[in-house]
Structure 1
Amino acid sequence: MTVFSQIKSLFFGSIFLTAGFASLPFAALSLVFRGRPLAIFNKSELSAANFTFLWRLIGKPSAADEKLTKKTISQAHGVVLDLGPGTGFTVHHFDKSKTTKIFGIEPNKAFHPALQAAIDAAGLTDIYTIVGTGVEDSETLKKFGIEQGSVDTIVACKVLCSIPEPKATIAELYKILAPGGLFLVLEHVKSKGGIGGFAQGLANKVWPFLMAGCNLCRSTEAYIYEAGEWDVKDLQHPEGLSGYEFITFIQGSLIKAK
C-alpha cells in the first residue's frame, strides 16, 4: 500500500465527485428542454440524465488508460460481447483480424449515435452491432443469436459496477460464454480498506445516484469467481495499485471450464 497511490486516487475521485454534483443542474435543464420537466423529480431518470451529460464531458478522460484498456480489449476473439461500450471511446482497441462478430450491449440509447460513429471510425461497421438492452433481457438477446454457450469472449471494462442485480447478471454472462471462452475484465472494485476504503464508503452514499447506479463498493471479483467453474482465474490489481485506493481496479482474464 503506497501513500502516493492513495493520495492520487483521492484526488481523482474527488474530481469525479465534484463534477457529478456540478452537472446536476445541466442534466435537469436537458430534461426540461426535451419536454420532460416532471422527470427531474424522478430519481432514476435524473440520475440517468446526469450520467449521460457527465459522460460526454469526462468519459474520454476516464477511459483514457490506453495501456490497460488496450491490453484487455485487444485479446478478444471470435464472437464477442462488449458490455456497456458507452459512446465508444474504447472500441478502436478491438483487433478486427481476431474477431468475427461484436455485440455492444448498451441500454442507454442516448449513447447510440456517438457509439455508432466510433464504430464506423474504427472500421468495425461490418462486424459490430449495437444491442440496446441489458444482459437480463434474454428474449431480446436471443433475437441477435446471443444465448447459452454462443459467445467466445466477453469484455467488461468499467461496467459491472453499474449493472442491476450483479450476481444474477454475471451468472447469466457465464452461461452465455462458451466452454473454453474468455472473460476479459478491467473493473473498479471495493477497496480493501485504509483511508481509501473509508473515503470510498462515504462517497458511495451519493456516487450511485450521480453516476447512474455505479457502485464503488461492489465485490465484483467474488461475483465472477462464484458464477461457475473456471480453468484459468487471473485477476489482479494493476501495477501501481494496492487495492486500498479510493477508486481501485482489478484487471485480467478468466477462461471458462470446458
Structure 2
Amino acid sequence: MLGPLDLMIPLLVLGVALATMPFTVVTCVLTRQLSNLTSWSRFKRAWFKQVYMWFGPASKPLIAPKVGPLLSVAYGTVVEVGPAGGTWMSELAEAACASSGRIKKIYGVEPNTLFHPELIKAAKSFGLSDIYEPVAAYAQDLEQKGIPKGSIDTIVTVHVLCSVGPPSMQESIAKVLYDYLKPGGQWLVYEHVTSKHAPIKIWQKLNNILWSRLLDGCDITRSTEEIIRNAGEWESETLGPDPKEGYFESLPHTIGRLVKKI
C-alpha cells in the first residue's frame, strides 16, 4: 500500500503500454511478421504480447506473495484461463512437485497464439512439458477442444476475467467455467474489481477510458467478485477483497477459493 501514490499506478501502466506501441511496430518489421501490421486486430494481439511480456514479470513480485499461496492448492486436471506468457508457471510447477502426481494435466487456455511459444518454453523450463498443453480457444469453446464439462478439478483465473468482453459476456463465461468444474472442484481467483469507495471508483472510470483500449479490453470497473459468486452454487468460498490493499488502491482485487457444490 502506497497511500495516495496508489492513484498513480494506472497512469504508469498506461504510459508503458503507449511506449510499447512503436517497439511493437519495429519488432514486427525485424521479425518479418508484417501481417500483424495489416490488421488492427492482429496488431493489438502483437502489441498486447509486448506489453504483457514486460508487465507480467514486472508486476509479479508485487502480487506473488498473494497468488503463490493461492495456487499452491491446485490439483488434478487444471485449467488456467489466459496464462499469457506463463507468468504463473513456476507456481504451478511448485504445486505439481509438492506432492508427486497431484497435478495430472494443465491446460493453458490462451486464445492469443502469439503467446504459445512462450508457454511451451516455460513449461519445458519448469519441467511441465509432459502435462502442460496450450489450448488456442476461448473458455466457452473448450468442449470443441475435447475438454468436457464437469471434468476439471481446478480452474485458475489471475487478471483475466476483466478482459472477456462486456458484463453480460463476463457473466456468461463465469457460468461456463462453473460448468466445467467437477462437483467439489475449486476455482482459484485473483482478479481486478471495481473499488468500493466512490471517489476511487470515479478515478477508475476515468482511467478505464484508455485502459480498456490499450490493454486488450481489460475493464477495471467490473463487479467481478459478485459475478463469480453468482456463477453457481458453492460448497464453500473465501472470495473477498485483498486485505492488504488500502483506500487509494486504484487497481483493487478480489482473491480467494471457491469449491463447487457436491
TM exceeds 0.5?
yes
- Measure the CA separation in 2 of the matches of 1:100 and 1:8: 43
Runs of 4+ in 1 over 6 A off after TM superposition: none
In the alignment, which residue of structure 2 is the partner of 1:62?
59
Instruction: Specify the code of the residue in structure 2 equivalent to 1:15.
Output: L
The Cα of 1:29 is off from its aligned counterpart by 4.0
Residue-by-residue CA offset, 1:150-175 (whole Å, 9 max, x unaligned): 00111111111112321111110000
Query: What secondary structure is seen at the aligned counterpart in 2 of 1:115?
Result: helix
In the alignment, which residue of structure 1 is the partner of 2:46?
49
The Cα of 1:243 is off from its aligned counterpart by 6.5
Give the RMSD, CA atoms, in angstroms.
1.8
More helix by share: 2
Picking from 60, 77, 92, the partner of 2:75 is 77
**Contact residue 197 and residue 244 of structure 1 kept, 8 A:** no
In the alignment, which residue of structure 1 is the partner of 2:33?
34
- Measure the CA separation in 2 of the matches of 1:226 and 1:116: 34
- Measure the CA separation in 1 of the matches of 2:157 and 2:192: 11
Query: What secondary structure is seen at the aligned counterpart in 1 of 2:202?
Result: helix
Q: Percent identity?
A: 33
Aligned length: 249
**Consecutive unaligned residues in structure 1, runs of 5 or more:** none
**Contact residue 237 and residue 243 of structure 1 kept, 8 A:** no
Closer, same or farther: CA 171–243 of 1 in aligned 2, 3 Å: farther
Residue-by-residue CA offset, 1:231-251 (whole Å, 9 max, x unaligned): 112112223214662101111
TM-score in terms of structure 2 length: 0.88
- Measure the CA separation in 1 of the matches of 2:38 and 2:3: 41
**Contact residue 9 and residue 250 of structure 2 kept, 8 A:** no
**Contact residue 140 and residue 173 of structure 2 kept, 8 A:** yes
1:158 and 2:152 correspond = no
The Cα of 1:200 is off from its aligned counterpart by 0.8
**Consecutive unaligned residues in structure 2, runs of 5 or more:** none
